[in-house]
Structure 1
Amino acid sequence: MPDRTVMLKLWGVSLLWGCNYVASAYLLRDFSPILLSFSRLVVMSLFLISVALVNKSMRRPTKREWLLLLWAGIAGTLINQLFYFTGLEHSTAGNAALIVALSPIATTLLSRIFLKEVISWSKYSGTVIALAGVVCIVLYSGKSIGISIGDINLLIATLGLSVSLLFIRKLTVGMSSYEITIYATVIGTILMTPAVGYEALSGQSHGSHQLMHWLLLIAVAVIGQGLAGFWWNRGIAVAGPSVSAMFMNIPPFIAIVVSHFVLGDPIKLAQIGGGVLILAGVAIANMKLPKMLSKSRGKSVGLSRAD
């Protein structure tokens, strides 16, 4: 039986990650999307670097690992964060949480295409169900039937996250998730510098002048991302991937409820129906294979992330 403290931390991660979507949507009212993304990444990078300096447990990556970290940073931090915040600016916190929940399905499909991994019928079935949920959200949860540019950007952000997990999966052979998180985050933050510079030069950059907004930004980066990430890794190590994965079903619905009461976003039937389809699809896709089939599979690595 997993330690009670660990289970409480996993519940805490679910709550923090669900509220993260709402906090980001709230901050976008006073920040331009790229400046907000860059500022949050800078704070998170400084936090992670401070932890690394205190623990003194980091090692220098090999040339091959540097290359993989670069691609992980481009896809998982630069592309993911840029399109996440520009998408969230034109969508809702609930939609963002539900669309990002599609990441495990997207990763499965990309693993089949690029890594030639075998996909079971349960994964195919789960993929179809989850994609139906995304279609429901994208087409029917707006003010009118149609595709929102915000939801399209969120789909691209989710694709970037899923692509990064392919590189992270290769990196876990020789590096810890702790080291990968720090290196990839810092690299992605550096790569985003030209984007935030362009936003400023084009006159589109603006930030809040209220201290409380900056304190909220720091709290989201340090507690909602950094600390929650460490709790999540601890949960996987102690409770196991299968138990921890169940908690990933909670943040989307927390985001929908909290955004309704905090931001005034309406709770729509398409969101609920689409969310149920996505989470059901993810659950079906991650059903354990029979022992006879699972023996033919190689070692798998379960990794996840929430914005």
Structure 2
Amino acid sequence: MGKGIAYSIISAICLGSLAIFAKTGLSMGMAPMQIVQYRFSFGAIILFSWFALTNRDMLRISRKALLKAAVLGMCIYPLQSWLFIKALQHMPASTTSLIYYLYPLMTTLLAVVFTGLKPGRTLYLSLLLILGGCGLVFYNAFARSVDIRGIWYALACMTTFSVYLTVVQRFTRNDEAKRISLWVVFFMAVVCSCISSPLTILDQPLKGWLIALGLGILPTALAISLLYRAIEVIGSTYAAMFSTIEPVTTVLLAALLLNESVDAIQVCGMALIIAGIIFPNLRLIRPKRLLVPEESRA
């Protein structure tokens, strides 16, 4: 399970860069769907090229698994990605990311209802701390009088992603998660290219190309494949919980690269989120206590 935790954290750090790339693209005049299309098109090219050179067996997939990838990549994930970019149009990157991180709570509720998860005291404590941190972020958002449309987009994005994680866990139970994730990105690229022409990249300056490439590498190729591996190893609930390092990454990068202000309330919120990840779960990183995740015992 230690590997699963590492996969979740690294994936979250990579995903934390998404808001920065997207916000920069929006400031250049890119449309939300353009940004989504660049992200998944470049991500698909990078992933397929990598596996073609290093492990061609990864490109082979059963019809059943391919159908699962199509459902995930064409019906759920593109919507979640578009909602996230729309939220960024109306709110700072740091606020958007922190509101989005109510999803560990939603994912746990969905797991309780649909997968029979029985949360223990440790998980309850972690979620309580995370919820407290997100509560401070909400307070901070309203204190700043942010655009209410951004809040609704962020909440819709959070709900969609929670559903996505739950479906992923059910779909990848008997399949290799990394293999499916490759084709999920492919289908996302196909859908987005049908909505927004990939040829618009030809009109972008060098900075636009660098943003598109960055979107394809960090928050897509690396982040998605590692997230699938994390879900495969430790389940969607724990993957969501340990992935809460993502908003911390986003807030820090937004402050450094976008000059967004970070006040004491945001810092307290981040501190609670980090506490929700680390302190209640120190016992989980002991190898003898990590052999069987809670989902597998449900």
Q: What band does the TM-score fall into relative to the shorter chain?
A: 0.7 to 0.9
How far apart, CA to CA, are the structure 1 residues paired with 2:18 and 2:297?
28
1:33 CA displacement: 1.0
Residue 220 of structure 2 corresponds to 225
Residue 201 of structure 1 corresponds to none
How far apart, CA to CA, are the structure 1 residues paired with 2:75 and 2:250?
24
Structure 1 residues 255, 123: CA separation in 2 closer, same or farther (over 3 Å shift)?
A: same
Structure 1 residues 208, 193: CA separation in 2 closer, same or farther (over 3 Å shift)?
A: closer
Give the stretch that moved more between structures: 25-34 or 268-277. Answer: 268-277
Give the stretch that moved more between structures: 143-152 or 42-51. Answer: 143-152
How far apart, CA to CA, are the structure 1 residues paired with 2:113 and 2:294?
16
Structure 1 residues 70, 279: CA separation in 2 closer, same or farther (over 3 Å shift)?
A: farther
Contact 2:107 2:240 in 1 (8 A): no
How far apart, CA to CA, are the structure 1 residues paired with 2:127 and 2:245?
19
Give 3-state SS (helix, strand or coil) of 1:264's partner: coil
Residue 49 of structure 1 corresponds to 48
Give 3-state SS (helix, strand or coil) of 1:28's partner: helix
1:116 CA displacement: 2.5
Residue 24 of structure 1 corresponds to 22
Q: Among 216, 223, 232, which residue is 2:211 paired with? A: 216
How far apart, CA to CA, are the structure 2 residues paired with 1:136 and 1:28?
27
Residue 253 of structure 2 corresponds to 258
Residue 153 of structure 2 corresponds to 153
Contact 2:12 2:243 in 1 (8 A): yes
Q: Does 1:190 align with 2:190?
A: yes
Contact 1:94 1:252 in 2 (8 A): yes
Give the stretch that moved more between structures: 131-140 or 26-35. Answer: 131-140
Residue 33 of structure 1 corresponds to 32
1:259 CA displacement: 1.4
Residue 99 of structure 1 corresponds to 99
Q: Which stretches in structure 2 are left out of the alignment for 5+ residues?
A: none
Q: Does 1:110 align with 2:73?
A: no
Aligned amino acid, residue 41 of structure 1: F
Contact 1:138 1:148 in 2 (8 A): no
Residue 200 of structure 1 corresponds to none
Contact 1:139 1:146 in 2 (8 A): no
Give 3-state SS (helix, strand or coil) of 2:104's partner: helix
Aligned amino acid, residue 161 of structure 1: F
Structure 1 residues 300, 164: CA separation in 2 closer, same or farther (over 3 Å shift)?
A: farther
CA RMSD of aligned residues (A): 4.4
How far apart, CA to CA, are the structure 1 residues paired with 2:35 and 2:202?
8
Contact 1:140 1:146 in 2 (8 A): no
Contact 2:104 2:127 in 1 (8 A): no
How far apart, CA to CA, are the structure 2 residues paired with 1:230 and 1:252?
19
Q: TM-score, normalised by structure 1?
A: 0.73
Structure 1 residues 145, 230: CA separation in 2 closer, same or farther (over 3 Å shift)?
A: closer
Identity of aligned residues (%): 20
Contact 1:48 1:226 in 2 (8 A): yes
Give 3-state SS (helix, strand or coil) of 2:80's partner: helix
1:287 CA displacement: 7.1
1:262 CA displacement: 1.9
How far apart, CA to CA, are the structure 2 residues paired with 1:139 and 1:298?
33
Give 3-state SS (helix, strand or coil) of 2:260's partner: coil
Contact 2:61 2:179 in 1 (8 A): no
Residue 60 of structure 1 corresponds to 61
Give the stretch that moved more between structures: 90-99 or 12-21. Answer: 12-21
Residue 165 of structure 2 corresponds to 165
Residue 296 of structure 2 corresponds to 299
Q: TM-score, normalised by structure 2?
A: 0.75
Aligned amino acid, residue 270 of structure 1: I
